Amino acid sequence: MDGQTRIPILKVGRVLIVPIQVDMDDQTVIHLQDRILSELERTGARGVLIDISLLEMVDSFIGRVLSDIAAMARIMDARTVVVGMQPAVAITLVELGLELRGVDTVLNVDEGIRLLRSEFGIDDDEEDSPFGGGAGAFAEQVNRP
């Protein structure tokens, strides 16, 4: 199943939400990076929120790709937040010597949205924004190959 695992990318307002809920092989990780960047370009989203709360391990490969995603997104004028890292994963990452350079990490999705909104000035002037009006609003699932 190399490269076949599909990680959903949801666009909510001006933020791409990427919930990683399965253990990913390297091809899937690389493929996900490509898809996030092309969705940033396609949608003009300004933030990327990657939820790794279900990831039981982040090794140097996944760590490097998370840093790369943040660096490339920044060049495209978007900010990346990684949310929900398990404590055991965080401790192991530090011991490995990984810093996740350029990646902001917060505890949960709420905090992630708040950070993107306040620190990075990703406003909610779009009518389908999840920040202002009705909760949840519209989530467009991006499912192109």
Chain residues binding other proteins by CB under 8 A are 1-2, 23-27, 56-61, 63-64, 86-89, 91-92, 95-98
* Cβ 120 vs Cβ 46: under 8 Å: yes
Query: Quick one: which of 48, 51, 46 has its CA closest to 80?
Result: 48
Distance in angstroms between the alpha carbons of the first and the last residue of the chain:
15
Q: Give the alpha-carbon dihedral of 82, 114, 16, 4, to 10 degrees.
A: 30
Q: Nearest distance from residue 53's CB to other proteins, in Å?
A: 14
Q: Nearest distance from residue 7's CB to other proteins, in Å?
A: 14
Distances (CA, A) of 63 to 104, 127, 139: 13, 34, 27
Indicate the residue among 63 and 112 with the shorter CB distance to other proteins: 63
Q: Nearest distance from residue 61's CB to other proteins, in Å?
A: 6
Residues 6+ apart with CB under 8 A from 120: 46, 47, 79
Indicate the residue among 5 and 43 with the shorter CB distance to other proteins: 5
Q: Nearest distance from residue 60's CB to other proteins, in Å?
A: 4
Indicate the residue among 43 and 86 with the shorter CB distance to other proteins: 86
Indicate the residue among 25 and 126 with the shorter CB distance to other proteins: 25
